[in-house]
A and B are shown apart, each in its own frame.
Chain A
Amino acid sequence: MSQILDVSGLTFRHSGKKRWLKKPEIFALGPIDMQVMKGETIAIIGQNRSGKSLLAKMLAGAVEPDAGTISLLERKYWSVKHRTARKRADITGIRMIFQHSSESMNPGISVGQILDEPLRLNSSLSEAERKDLIADTLVKVGLLREHFYFYRHMLSDGQQQRVSLARAILPDPKVLIADEPFAALDPTIRSQTVNLILRLQKEMGLAFVFISHNLGIVRHIADRVIVMDNGQIIESGKTETIFRWPQHEMTKKLVLSYQSLIPQQTLR
């Protein structure tokens, strides 16, 4: 397996405004180092306010880090000195799925236009080619070609999730980042989405980095787990290792509370 994404020394500092007699709120993330291999699935777990979403947003480029470098396929993708590198390398290398897929879609334009936008802005394909590609992608994520002309409100939750997945994989990315992709979904739809992502990953060799509170799914699909607390990576390793022999206090707490939910009968 070859290394696809290399993050080193990624840092972000947030400080609230200082007021009279009020201490400024300080939140520092990082420095974060992580490597992602081709076709690998990495789960980020941790408590609320531990900086998971922020890390995901920084990787996807929605938030600018204060220091550090991100390199994709050995090429510098982002660093403080090469702020424009991301623009030159298109935005097609790393793509993101947001938590509430319905809210991340424009209600005023059709699914076709939603999907067309990233292609129109980042590729030199002609209109006919773009339309073919969109139709193919819609079929790939388990929708119909006719959904091109649908609007957001005409689709169910699961279908919306599929559209946002389609939007993410359209420009053939190397890394897919997802912030709680399964949280808002119903159980049977969630299994469908998990299956879909597993299949796409196999077909396209995508690396998949996702955040989840659902440790059952994390254990099922992740190769490696990163545990975050208070803006730092406190533990990372193979999924089974983390779940069986958690080292850090925080990890132990998370894993134990998950184990306590599983009924004892399954252990027999």
Chain B
Amino acid sequence: MRDVAVISWAQSPMVGDAGALNEVELIMPVVQKALADAGLESVQDVDFTCSGSCDYLQGASFAFVSGVDALGAVPPIKESHVEMDAAWALYEAWLKIQMGQADSALVYGFAKSSPGDLPSVLSLQLDPYYLAPLWPDSISLAGLQARAMLDAGVISETDMAEVVVRSRGNARNNANAQLAGDVTIDELLAQPMYVSPLRKHDCCPVSDGASAMVICTVEKARALGHPYAVIKGIDHRIESNNLGARDLTRSVSTEQAAAAAGVAQGPVDIAELHAPFSHQEIILERALGLSEDTRVNLSGGVLAGNLMMAAGLDRIGEVAMRICAGEAGRGVAHATSGACLQQNMVVVLEAE
């Protein structure tokens, strides 16, 4: 396996409504910043570009094609796209580097989720015969999962509120966060139910924005002379699309990906978990086998701002940048996709 380095990551502010900005206008600043932070002048200086997005979010078919306008793709570049979170675009770029077909890559993800009703749009991920016609929104499905956990006694409402308290608190140090502040468990538990058993704060907000990252071989990273974090393990697994066939109280796919990525092969200083709902952070901590010593979601996680289709990449970026800054030696990033944590990626990052 070739060691691959994360050398830069840029994220736009996560906002509830990016207003007048179109996708190109959202993407361009983060792509330019990621390239500049990597010491590169333009997209022509990387060997491969891959993006993650979903046209259903803004209802503009093939929006990712126009997204290329943000890059400066003249002369033509080697480019690809996944209709998924950009963490999976990173995986494709990582594979490209493993294959020796590239030494460096730009990865970006973007979403303008505000034009539609995101929780309803996400029901299109479900079985098109049995489920999608009923429009089970993403919040309701997560609620079924939370209820199953509460009924099984594996979490309490207080546990869920604790996750939110920590997210809001940590997010005060995240300039891009959409939701941050000092809240107490009692205040949160006094809030009314939203989609019972979930309160509104148990659910990630809908956010507009974009993120971009530059990765390259360790040799190239050394040549560029920037601090970098090395991807030491990366794996992703998916579970059945049949929600009823899954044990929703745990995440088998995360457990498998964690084992394959080698999470347990060293101490985990920090972790960034892509948990769009408070109870899912607890599922993930358990699936990853994190101990009390691991500092989780120092950014606030996606409860503080959820750039759909970039939030998974953001988790990797958050861990990588903290390693680059010397705040941690080894960290774990997690990305998810689908209803109730259906598909999960685990990435282990280390300082050189």
A and B from one complex: no
